[in-house]
Amino acid sequence: MSRSEFSQAQRVVVKIGSSLLTDGGRGLNKQAIADWVAQMAALKRQGVDVVLVSSGSVAEGMSRLKLKTRPKTLHELQAAASVGQMGLVRRFEDEFQLHDVLAAQVLLTHDDLSDRQRYLNARSTLLTLLDFGVVPVINENDAVATEEIRFGDNDTLGALVANLVEADLLIILTDQTGLFDANPSLNPNARLISEISVNESLLDEVAGGSISGLGRGGMYTKVRAARLAARSGAATVIVSGKIDNVIPAVFDGNDLGTYLIPNIAPLAARKQWLAGQLQLKGGVVLDDGAVKILKDAGKSLLAVGVKAVQGSFKRGDLVSCLDLQGNEIARGLINYGSEDAGKIAGKPSSEFEALLGYADEDELIHRDNLVLV
Ligand SMILES: Nc1ncnc2c1ncn2[C@@H]1O[C@H](COP(=O)(O)OP(=O)(O)O)[C@@H](O)[C@H]1O
Ligand SMILES: N[C@@H](CCC(=O)OP(=O)(O)O)C(=O)O
């Protein structure tokens, strides 16, 4: 897809980061929010579905609670987020109302999307809201999200939402002009990358973390988000939210920010959901033959190709498939718990019964439950 095709998008996800929303930590930037809402309302008037993923609850909570630095303890963070989320949605609702657009608050945790049934429920809710012409305003449910169940950064959440609603375009608004070939906050000679494939390995070298103390992910999570979004065919643009009329300008195909081209084969819906799973419970180390079969033939993983089992996991958990050098090549939902997987590693399925006293599936990970990374 070229930038000129963005204007054919039916559905757009806009993600706004903390650093931008809060004007460097000085409370919500009301004028900027008014401008972005006006831009999103303009897209809606053109018949485009708009979903907003907005950060800023912690930063706004810090400002309301007069905290100078980001809280360190989980409970303080959760409390700040609860206070701040009120201000955030109130501001968005008021602004959207000025344009006769209804907004809806949707707060998600990682758990909501890791369970397939809840994932499908979240999807139905979002699609129904869009049918009603409403703009969902989404954030992580920070008040209850503990370390184990959190996305942690809203770039990832934005990408998973783009997968959920099958958006054509994900616009990530941030405090930088786009993605640079080095972190511009640290290197004044860094140059903006205008377009790059999500496949490009250079991305792994240039995308650094956040140093603002407000945002969480930096460019690293934005690149990962673009890759996730690409799995459902969505194009991603990382761009400065400070540019005048930026959302329609990107939509119209102007050369702004960094366009991460989604030139990978889109995955089937179930595999998109799998690819979005973040909480790995362990891993299996494969021999070279198994690696080749997974990569080239798209077959299921058999225990006979497994050299070692890492971590402690249960049947049905998500595990990584690693090559002998430790590189992750795939991940999937495993049919045997770690203890049993250890016993049948390297063995053909005909021996499972004797080794375990029972035999479930012949495959350690069925190909329908496996996704290459
Ligand atoms: N290659 C890069 N190009 C641009 N910014 C980068 C790069 N690597 C790291 N960064 C950092 O990422 C920050 C943006 O991410 P973050 O602070 O998480 O913002 P947001 O709150 O918008 O998600 C930039 O301010 C910059 O310091
Ligand atoms: N859910 C958090 C957002 C996490 C975060 O900081 O994300 P981001 O600014 O997008 O890197 C909040 O509203 O404060």
Q: Which residue CA neighbors atom 9 of ligand 1 most closely?
A: 208
Q: Name the superfamily (CATH) of residues 280-372.
A: PUA domain (2.30.130.10)
Q: 315 CA distance to ligand 2 centroid (A)?
A: 33
Contact 322, 265 (CB under 8 A): no
pLDDT value at residue 147: 67
Burial of 327-351, coded b for 16+ CB within 10 Å and e otherwise, reads eebbbbbbbbbbebbebbbebebee
Q: Which two tokens stand for residue 295?
A: 């990569």
Q: Relative to the CA of 218, which ligand 2 atom is closest?
A: 11
Which homologous superfamily is 3-272 in?
Answer: Acetylglutamate kinase-like (3.40.1160.10)
- Between the CA of 139 and the centroid of ligand 2 the distance, in Å, is 8
Pairing of strands 301-302, 363-365: antiparallel
pLDDT, position 133: 97
**Distance separating alpha carbons of residues 222 and 47, to the nearest angstrom:** 27
- pLDDT tens, position by position, 37-74: 999 999 999 999 999 999 999 889 999 999 988 888 88
180 lines ligand 1 (CB under 6 A): yes
Considering every ligand atom shown, identify the ligand nearest to the alpha carbon of residue 88 and give its number: 2
- pLDDT tens digit string along 242-270? 999 999 999 999 999 999 999 988 888 78
Q: Binding site annotation covers 174?
A: yes
Ligand 2 pocket, residue 57 CB under 6 Å = yes
All residue ranges of the chain with pLDDT < 70 are: 24-26, 147-149, 208-217
Tell me, using a 6 A CB cutoff, whether residue 212 lines ligand 2.
no
Q: What pLDDT, on a 0 to 100 scale, did the predictor assign at position 159?
A: 95
What is the Cα–Cα distance from 8 to 171, expressed in whole angstroms? Answer: 15
Is 58 touching ligand 2 by the criterion CB < 6 Å?
yes
229, 162 Cβ separation under 8 angstroms: yes
Model's pTM, two decimal places?
0.86
Q: What would you report as the CA-atom Rg of the chain, rounded to the nearest whole angstrom?
A: 22
Q: Confirm or reject: Cβ of 114 under 6 Å from ligand 1.
A: no
What's residue 55's pLDDT?
92
Cα–Cα distance for residue pair 307/305, rounded to 1 Å:
7
Question: Is 60 close to ligand 2, i.e. is its CB under 6 Å away?
Answer: no
Q: Are 215 and 18 in contact (CB under 8 A)?
A: yes
Alpha carbon nearest to ligand 2 atom 3, residue: 55
Whether 140 is in the pocket of ligand 2, judged by its Cβ within 6 Å, is yes
pLDDT on residue 170:
98
Q: 81: CA distance to ligand 2 center in Å?
A: 10
15 is in an annotated binding site: yes
Where in the chain is CATH 2.30.130.10?
280-372
Cα 290 from chain centroid?
29
Q: Which ligand is nearest to the CA of 192?
A: 1
User: How would you write 334-351 as a 3-class SS string?
Assistant: CCCCHHHHHHHCCCCHHH
Q: Is 142 annotated as a binding residue?
A: yes
| Ligand whose nearest atom lies closest to the CA of 158 | 2
The residue whose two tokens read 């998600």 is 108
Q: How far is the CA of 40 from the centre of ligand 2 (A)?
A: 20
Q: Is the CB of 212 under 6 A from ligand 1?
A: yes
Ligand nearest to the Cα of 208, by number = 1
